[in-house]
Amino acid sequence: MTTHSTVLTDFESAALAPTGLPTHELEASSLPVVGGEKKTGGVRGASDAEVVAAGDLIDSDLTPTEQDLLTLRRLPAAMPWMAIAMCLIEFAERASYYGSSGPFNNFINNPLPTGGSGTGAVAPGDDGLNESAGALGLGSVDASALTNLFTFLAYVIPIYGGIVADTKWGRFKTICVGTAVGAIAHVLLVIPAIPSVINNPNGSLGAFIVSIVILAFAAGFIKPSLGPLLCDQSPIKVPTIGYTKKGERVIYDPQVTVERWLLIFYACINIGAFFAVATEYAERFVGFWLAFLLPGILYMLMPIVLIVAYKRIYKAPPQGSVLLETMKVFRVLLADGGWKRMWRGGADFWDRAKPSYIQEYTGELNIDKIFWDDKFVDEIKQSIHACAVFAIIPIFTLADGGIGNQMNDMSVAMILDGAPNDLISNFNPLAIIVFSPILSYGLYPFMSRIGHPLSPMWRMCIGFILGSIGCIIAAVVQWRIYATSPCGYYATTCTDADGNSLVSSVALWWQIPIYFFPAVGELFVNVTSYELAYTRSPARMKGLVYALALFNSAIGAAISLALADVIQDPNLIWPWVALAVASFVTAFVFPTFFRHLDDPMTDFANAERQAGLQQPKAILEGQHAAQTGSENVEAKY
């Protein structure tokens, strides 16, 4: 055992000014441009596949004044081509995911339509005007259970995928493995939709379950890695002073860059999700085999982009010890009655795991046992605070589409006039596609320009309120359906003596505002949660924390699974009322109890920290290597 008592200053967190890291003067022409390779003054393009130390940019003569930091506008950096490539991959992956999963409800829930072709498509002409596509006819409860199982797995498995990416494979390799698994899943998914297989419901169901489980595993490897890999490409690692084309002196800010890029990324997710329109019409008029085949064809865009990006993209190396370090930190924190201090939080709890604290109170420091630095403890603290926010988001997740199969049950009791009953769900991605640029290039810059930028917690608040509005409208529409249905409070399964569907007088288009308001809320809630996950997580553990941000969807799916037997006729109104109240009340928790998360972050993507070069042992090894090299030179001469 080797004890080091004099090396602490080598790896303590450096003191930072309250306003953040030093910034640097750059001409506008030297700042990154989309598709450009232009680099000046030590700033490297994000596509360079090498580690650039943040310290290379620091020049104390160019440190901004307090006045600069208080008065200058903060702008995002432009996206390099490799970041655009990541958005293209996300578009293809989400198009295949939502294009496939969009028809799931009808495939499981509804029986083969009377007079149809046997592929799940409705009867031609007026006979199929108000019919819905179907195949297995298992009913609403089983449909809700299986679709929520798929969602649950697709958002739980990312925790494992994030751990693998952080510790073993790295983000890029994990995405490649997930892409290969997804290709297999898409081939298998077509099999249960083949007409000859549909006629054997048990066989079709078995093949369907196998395919969606494999597809969930693919998503689990891709989702926790793609967003962080996108943000890793940012050429702005610290606040950087530059000039716009009009000559305005501004700050190019790393957190604003992540905010803008993730909004664009989320828009790409929903452009992909809009592909479900094609598959829903395919299921209705051709059959489920085509609805499941089309997403697989589009999915093949992913490996092409990955091959092109392989040599140009920056890939943060995996750090095998990061989870061990985290567990060791908590072991130190919880020792000697630490679990009692945990509930109070604050410095009294967190400082006890910092090497500087241990050095001061024990007089020695064994870096074989305490092999992290002060800043790593601070990063874990920030991650825990962000995860507290993530724990509340499932309320919004449920408000955004209801519990279980509520929206689908509502739609089959409405006047369709030849439209697929699940068509209106596409107004969710449509609203996001329309409002993403409005927020990114309109509202957010405007609020910043007038001196009142929308902070993360107020964005969360706005999103939850929008979710509440959607639930209020849903409750009213569902009440109206019950009031006008020939079967009253059993509208979902209403048929005449011949088995033909009977619907209420409420048109399907009344579902549009139910999807619209929570969809816009997603831009305030989900995107902000991804931003918190990236900017407030340890540099070497971003995949796992990002996966925890995604986990709220799994919690929502688990709640839906648990309530599947309850959330059906005649109980479809009050769940909307409960969600409306819960979402509205919770909205004000964020700016009240989590306002400390509005503090700007500036040092969250240091390439040296991501590569593990700021670890105590790495620093000592570097010093030793430098000293040895110096001695060898002296001996030579």
Q: What is the pLDDT of residues 546-560, one digit of tens each?
A: 999 999 888 988 888
Please say if the pLDDT value at position 266 is more than 70. Answer: yes
Question: Among residues of the chain, what percentage have pLDDT more than 70?
Answer: 86
The two beta strands, 74-75 and 249-252, are: parallel
Burial of 410 (0-12, 13-18, 19+ CB in 10 A): buried
Say what the pLDDT of residue 634 is: 53
Say what the pLDDT of residue 49 is: 32
**Residue 628 confidence class, pLDDT cut points 50, 70, 90:** low
* Nearest by Cα to 410 from 342, 462, 481, 485: 481
More confident residue, 17 or 408: 408
- Tell me the β-bridge partners of 249: 243
Please say if the pLDDT value at position 568 is more than 60. Answer: yes
Which of 79-88, 235-244, 625-634 bottoms out in mean pLDDT, i.e. has the lowest? Answer: 625-634
Give tens-digit pLDDT for 319-336: 877 788 888 888 888 887
Give tens-digit pLDDT for 332-381: 888 877 777 777 767 778 888 888 888 888 877 777 788 788 888 888 88
Residues across the chain: 637
The dihedral sign for the CA sequence 565, 566, 571, 572: negative
Rounded average pLDDT over 466-486: 94
**Residue 20 confidence class, pLDDT cut points 50, 70, 90:** very low
* Nearest by Cα to 10 from 623, 626, 625, 631: 623
The CA distance from 42 to 129, in Å, is 64
According to DSSP, residue 169 is labeled: I
Please say if the pLDDT value at position 313 is more than 80. Answer: yes
Q: Where are the alpha helices (DSSP H) in 233-310?
A: 254-273, 276-285, 288-299, 301-309
The CA distance from 255 to 382, in Å, is 15
The CA distance from 497 to 488, in Å, is 16
Under 8 Å CB-to-CB from 431, ≥6 apart: which residues?
515, 516, 519, 520
According to DSSP, residue 540 is labeled: T
The CA distance from 241 to 251, in Å, is 4
Say what the pLDDT of residue 214 is: 96
CB 239 within 8 A of CB 391: no
Give tens-digit pLDDT for 90-123: 999 999 999 999 899 889 988 888 887 888 888 8
CA–CA distance from 75 to each of 22, 66, 282, 444, 533 (Å)? Answer: 16, 18, 43, 11, 21
Which one-letter amino acid corresponds to residue 356?
A: S
Radius of gyration of the chain (CA): 27
Under 8 Å CB-to-CB from 494, ≥6 apart: which residues?
413, 485, 486, 487, 501, 502, 503
Which one-letter amino acid corresponds to residue 572?
A: L
Under 8 Å CB-to-CB from 450, ≥6 apart: which residues?
none
Rounded average pLDDT over 65-73: 77
The CA distance from 176 to 308, in Å, is 12
Please say if the pLDDT value at position 63 is more than 70. Answer: no
Give tens-digit pLDDT for 414-427: 888 877 777 788 89
Say what the pLDDT of residue 22 is: 37
Q: What is the mean pLDDT of the chain?
A: 82
Give tens-digit pLDDT for 271-309: 998 898 899 889 988 999 999 999 999 999 999 999 999
Please say if the pLDDT value at position 48 is more than 50. Answer: no
Give tens-digit pLDDT for 159-170: 999 999 998 999
